[in-house]
Each structure stands twice: as C-alpha cells, then as structure tokens.
Chain A
C-alpha cells in the first residue's frame, strides 16, 4: 500500500482558533513532509521530519508546529489561524530525504479560515 492518508479532507476554522491536521503512512518511510499549496503558487515546504528530527523552514518557523509520535503518524498544528492560512495542505513521505527516491503525497486537506 503506497498511500499517504490525510484527515480531514476539508477543514473550516475560525480566525484565532487552533487547527490540527493529521497524516499517516504505512510504508515505514523515514521522512514525512508538510507542504502548503495556494492557487497558482508552487507547493511550499513548511517542515519535515527525518526520523524523529523536526526540520522547519526559516520563514515559517513560528507559524507551524508538528509532532510525530511514531513512524506512521505526523500532525501539523496551527496555534492561532489567520486568513492567510487558507490553503491546501499536502502531507508526503519518502524513504530517506526524497531526492533520489520518490516522494508520495496524500490527497491534501483544504483548510478554509473564516
């Protein structure tokens, strides 16, 4: 099974409220990623876990948190949602760092902040 599962597929959140998105994979991949995708923009890497080590991008460091309680699960947490967080959030996984090997993506969670 080469699927990455994301829940929920659609999420409505209020400004100022927290948001928690969930992702799982059963491929025993070392690395799990979160990307943010807005219309007409490239998927933007937010952070990734290599094994238990979290790597966050410098420009999104304070905006997103994540946890990986075991190899299969990874969450993305927004402490206080703003309108600018409305986007598609794509979770992905790969063996190793994903440069030489395929990165597998989930179908995404569409977050709308109102």
Chain B
C-alpha cells in the first residue's frame, strides 16, 4: 500500500520569504505527482503537477522530483499572505486507482 508522508507538518514563513515543503512516497512505480492547495473553507485545488525528474517552475512555485530518492518537493518563492493554506502532495501511477494524498503541510505567511 502506497504511503505518502509530508514534512514539516506546519511552517511559518515571513512575507517575501521562501517556503519549502517535502513529500516522500513508498511505491517505486509512482509516476504522477501533484501538489494541491486548500484554503480555509474551500476544497483542495490543484496547484501543479510534475511527472519527470528534475525541476518544474510555474510562477513563484517550483516543484522538484527525484524518483530514485522517492522524493518530491515544493518551493514557494516570495511568499504572500494568500499562500497561507494547507498543501497536499498526491501520488499515483499508470493503472493506479486514484491519487493517494499525504497528510499535508500547513503554511502560514506572516506579514
């Protein structure tokens, strides 16, 4: 059974600072990796996906994937108060039933 673990559980970042979130997974067959973000009172919303080893940048967000190390990370540059949310890592593979989520990292951006 795939296990997806995220660290840290929570993170406080000054406005304009860098937030770094980590995710490890257990199944070496994993192929598809997503980051979802959930603001208070809302449902999770997809932030970005990464399917190949290396970095993928979308605006202030950069995802990094290392399948050999079973590790994916998300870095938020120039953090804004609107980035305060719960961030989930989600993992799947071809033929998999559905995305498996991690427990989440709560990011708080302090003004």
Contacts and interface: CB of A to CB of B under 8 A. Distances in A.
B46 A99 contact: no
A99 B43 contact: no
Interface residues of B, number: 27
B102 to A, nearest CB: 6
A95 interface: no
Interface residues of A, number: 24
Interface in B15-45: 31-32, 34, 36, 41-45
Nearest to A108: B43
Given A43-B88, A107-B42, A108-B43, A55 B97 contact: yes
Nearest to A4: B43
B97 A48 contact: yes
B102 A42 contact: yes
